[in-house]
Amino acid sequence: MVFQRRSGILLHPTSLSGTPGIGTLGRCAYSFVDWLVSAGQSLWQVLPLGPTGYGDSPYASFSTYAGNPLLIDLEYLVEKGRAEAVSILPPEYIRSEGPVDYGSVVWWKMPVLRQAALWFIKSGTVADKDAYHAFKEANSFWLDKYASFMTIKEYYDAAAQKKKLDGIWYRSWPEELAACNERALVEWNDSHILETEIVKTIQFFFFDQWHELKTYANRNGISIIGDIPIFVAPDSADVWSNQKLFLLDSHGVPVKVAGVPPDYFSATGQLWGNPLYNWDAMKKNGYEWWIRRIMHILSMVDYLRIDHFRGFEAYWSVPYGEKTAVKGKWMSGPGKDLFEALKKSAGQDLPVIAEDLGLITDEVIKLRTYCGFPGMKVLQFAFDPVEAKHNGMVNSFLPHMYNSDCIVYTGTHDNDTLQGWLESVPVRQLRLVASYMTGTDINAARAVELMKTGDLRRKMITAAFASTAAFTVIPMQDILGVGHEGRMNTPSTTGANWTWRMDKKLPGKCESEKLAIISDLYGRNISGKQH
């Protein structure tokens, strides 16, 4: 697929400000779309949109299909007659600015959404009910099991917490429910009709708001880049309802789990803990699970970034129960067989971006090239002074080394912000960055000055726009010049991740005009409005 030269911003909806507790799909999101247009941008990249659990990571969702209820805008529910105005008033501890406090937001907002769902079930209009039934029918292939999973989980999580036990389904649920036994599920659903209907109604609210927002964005020339992790969370409806498609034992416990091997950055590797796919079983049914997953997400977005693409060529398999990733081994993935099935089902080339960072072999590059997917370049990875001294400026992440078969970022959700990174690198490395960006031999004092004024950050953004990469995508924190406090995620840590929100106001006219100018100068300001 040909990726037309474009540019845009990476900003997860949770980071929007001006709404109680967390960013939503309401007015703040529409205002952001308007700002993108004023800044000459045509791409909005988001993180995965699913419901999050422990750790609040969008990459560890209870479902690869469902939407995050916390993103639902309550004011829009009232405007559509789906909730009472008095019911959505936030308590004093819920603020419209500052970092997201997920615990407080969940404690307040989920009961409000359940109340709105009850209101809708009892008092919704005929037209709304018709739309709701159409939504349920179109999404029954995942929605029914998701609603069952979430209601069973809520019940048995509470029981597990009282006993101070792990609430994951294969440890704390009754055997037949944990096995996703159809008879047991029918009995459960029959006795929890209202509870499952509330879960489905909340999903209807999310998807209705998301599709209206996406339609608005598309009409204004903004395409949405979505994101999914290659693996899914162990505590998810995906694993529970498709146990034969994962490497699990007879009780649903993972046999092997995902991670990455030891490397320069970690002597013990990274142990992610996601259950691995049973690729033989998936191949036997024509990769139906993957086809449904990809096509569902592509119905929500215009482009799709797949995290850890290299796992389709080979993945690191670690025996379940290991404390580190050291004792894992490489196993062959499905390779091009999967993507041929996806392309055949879609009837066209897939608008996919391959996250090909990390330990990338020639075989991974060949697979990505075969699939026709652009890879990723990250400017923060480009400046190794030791490598530059011995090998010259030939790092593949340097802009002069690109071809058009890539997407360039100043950083990703897993990196420090660009300004934070520049403030933390050794002076030797900072000099290399400054010299490259200015085309002159910059001394230490001048490099520090360029960093402190923000000029070096702005030059790096301009270099990304000027590069030959098909897309340029800049995290909003880098546009604003936010420091370490704006970092979205620090891998292998918990606590303060995913919480950053913008200040109440969007970037001003000055920032939008500068972005529009460099977009024009480097051929990225396209007109994509739909009339």
Q: Catalytic positions, please? A: 307, 355, 414
Query: CA 309 to CA 257: how far, in whole Å?
Result: 17
Tokens representing 263 are 């490397």
Using DSSP bridges, classify how beta strands 314-319 and 256-260 pair: parallel, antiparallel or unpaired.
Answer: antiparallel
Measured in degrees and rounded to the nearest 5, phi and psi for residue 183 equal -65, -45
Query: CA 276 to CA 279: how far, in whole Å?
Result: 9
Q: Give rounded-to-5 percent helix, strand, coil for the chain.
A: 50, 10, 40
Tokens representing 328 are 């894992």
Query: CA 166 to CA 86: how far, in whole Å?
Result: 37
Burial classification of residue 31, based on how many CB atoms lie within 10 Å of its CB (0-12 exposed, 13-18 middle, 19 or more buried):
middle
Three-state secondary-structure class, residue 410: coil
Cβ contacts of 488 within 8 Å, gap of 6 or more: 12, 15, 413, 414, 475, 477, 497, 498, 500
- CA angle, corner 268, sides to 262 and 273, nearest 5? 95
Q: Are 45 and 473 in contact (CB under 8 A)?
A: yes
